[in-house]
Amino acid sequence: MSEQIEQAERGVGEFTLTGPLTTAPPAGYTAPEPDEKWTLRGGFAHVYHGERNQGIVRPVIMADGFNLGKSDLTWLYAGLDRDFPFLTELRRRGRDVILVGFDERSASVLDNARTVTEAVLRTIAQRLGDTRLMVGGFSMGGLVSRYALAKMEHDRMDHQTGVYFSYDTPHRGAYIPIGLQAFAHFIPVPNDFARQMNSPAARQMLWRHYDAMTGQNGIAPERREFLQRLADVGGWPRIPRILAVANGRGDGTGIAVPPGETVLKSERVYPGTAFSAQAQGREVTVAELKRRFPASEKTITTGDLPELDGAPGGTLRSYGILADALKKAGAQVDLRHEEVCFVPTVSAVALRDLDQQKDLYANLDDIAPDESEADDFTWSSTTTPHTAVTEELATWLLDRLPD
């Protein structure tokens, strides 16, 4: 019996935190075959011509988001076309869709930006006519393409892009609960969850990162370096019109996850392990971690953080995904809040930072739009999952395609 429990505890971490774009396509769904497949440095691209186009005429380049491992562009196509036919509608309007994937989605944003740069240059080389490009991405893909275009301008390379867009991109950082990050490293064997949380891209994008070596949480050195590198190339591309979309609400309303409340408890496997929603305060307990093989206990605390779990923003099934893994391993799970905020609305529309409670929960209608670093932006009228392609948000983007 003890061997079974030990094996169960060792196997819990074989998952990653993922959003709608990386879930399996629905049964019976088949993505169309691309008209072209490109091999790029550090990645690849699939090209889908617009209706009646015999080549690339009116290109829209979209970069994949964050996860562990290689991009699956068939899954990405399904995710972008499943709930609302975004790609189908783009192609119906004569737009050529170019999906850019990466050999390693968790690699440095700076490295994957080279792949986007190469995709932009190849698109320009093959384009028929002179319609300017629309370039952007979903989640991390928005950061990768933002840096790529900004660096091209800094290096005096003509990207010929008329519109840059980001879709629930963590411009001011993303949030994974600190206790959840710590649990990834509490699992006593190397695991996918820990690799994801400790990857270069996670260290660059997460607003606060848990350091397994020190047991402390803060701004990762890789994030500081990334932000400096971004600043060195001007922060944003200046030539295209900048659009930003948020999956969260903008009226200051988040989701009902009371600060300090228990969100997940486990018994049988990791018995006595419990996670609490982030609360304000100097010494706040966010997780009690306990295991039997080898026996260990650890209390995870934070200080001076706002109430992030219930903040307005695109959500992720952060605790729900962990609960699924625990149940699969034989745990008895008390899951009270499966979803928490992942990309706060203020981060996605580049309007305020995440450090202050008043900014995180601000009614954005009360803030002057020119405070945002985007030229135009929108948010969802209801809280939606991170990167979920809704009719409301997709239509807003479709209405702002370059001429």
With a pLDDT cut of 70, the percent of the chain lying above it is 100
- Alpha-carbon distance of 204 to 225, in angstroms, equals 8
Residues 197 and 216 reside in one and the same domain:
yes
- Alpha-carbon distance of 179 to 274, in angstroms, equals 9
**Final residue belonging to a domain, choices 321, 342, 363:** 342
Determine the average pLDDT of the residues in 369-388: 97
Determine the average pLDDT of the residues in 115-126: 98
**Final residue belonging to a domain, choices 342, 368, 390:** 342
Tokens, residue 252: 């200051």
Residues 186 and 199 reside in one and the same domain:
yes
- Alpha-carbon distance of 197 to 187, in angstroms, equals 13
What are the tens digits of pLDDT across the range 55-98?
999 999 999 999 999 999 999 999 999 889 999 999 999 999 99
Predicted confidence band of residue 327 (pLDDT cuts 50, 70, 90): very high
pLDDT at residue 9, rounded to an integer: 86
What are the tens digits of pLDDT across the range 223-238?
999 999 999 999 999 9
Its domain, for residue 143, covers 21-172+222-253+349-398
Residues 234 and 320 reside in one and the same domain:
no
pLDDT at residue 10, rounded to an integer: 86
Neighbours of 240 (CB within 10 A): 23
Over 60: is that where the pLDDT of 126 sits?
A: yes
Tokens, residue 239: 């030539």
| pTM, 2 dp | 0.97
- Alpha-carbon distance of 115 to 119, in angstroms, equals 6
57 lies in some domain: yes
Determine the average pLDDT of the residues in 280-309: 96
What are the tens digits of pLDDT across the range 17-34?
998 887 777 777 888 999
**Final residue belonging to a domain, choices 303, 324, 342:** 342
Residues 149 and 261 reside in one and the same domain:
no
Q: How far apart are the first and last CA of the chain?
A: 66
Residues 105 and 248 reside in one and the same domain:
yes
Neighbours of 403 (CB within 10 A): 7
Residues 145 and 263 reside in one and the same domain:
no
Angle in degrees, 0-180, between the axes of helices 221-232 and 109-126, rounded to the nearest 10 = 40
Domain count, the chain: 2
Residues forming beta bridges with residue 127, ordered by sequence position: none
Residues 165 and 286 reside in one and the same domain:
no
The answer to whether 250 and 345 have CB atoms below 8 angstroms apart is yes
Residues 27 and 102 reside in one and the same domain:
yes
What are the tens digits of pLDDT across the range 147-161?
999 999 999 999 999
Residues 283 and 140 reside in one and the same domain:
no
Residues forming beta bridges with residue 258, ordered by sequence position: none
φ/ψ (deg, to 5) at 6: -60, -45
What are the tens digits of pLDDT across the range 209-225?
999 999 999 999 999 99
Residues 287 and 159 reside in one and the same domain:
no
Residues 245 and 389 reside in one and the same domain:
yes
Mean per-residue pLDDT over the chain, rounded = 96
Residues 160 and 194 reside in one and the same domain:
no
Residues forming beta bridges with residue 213, ordered by sequence position: none
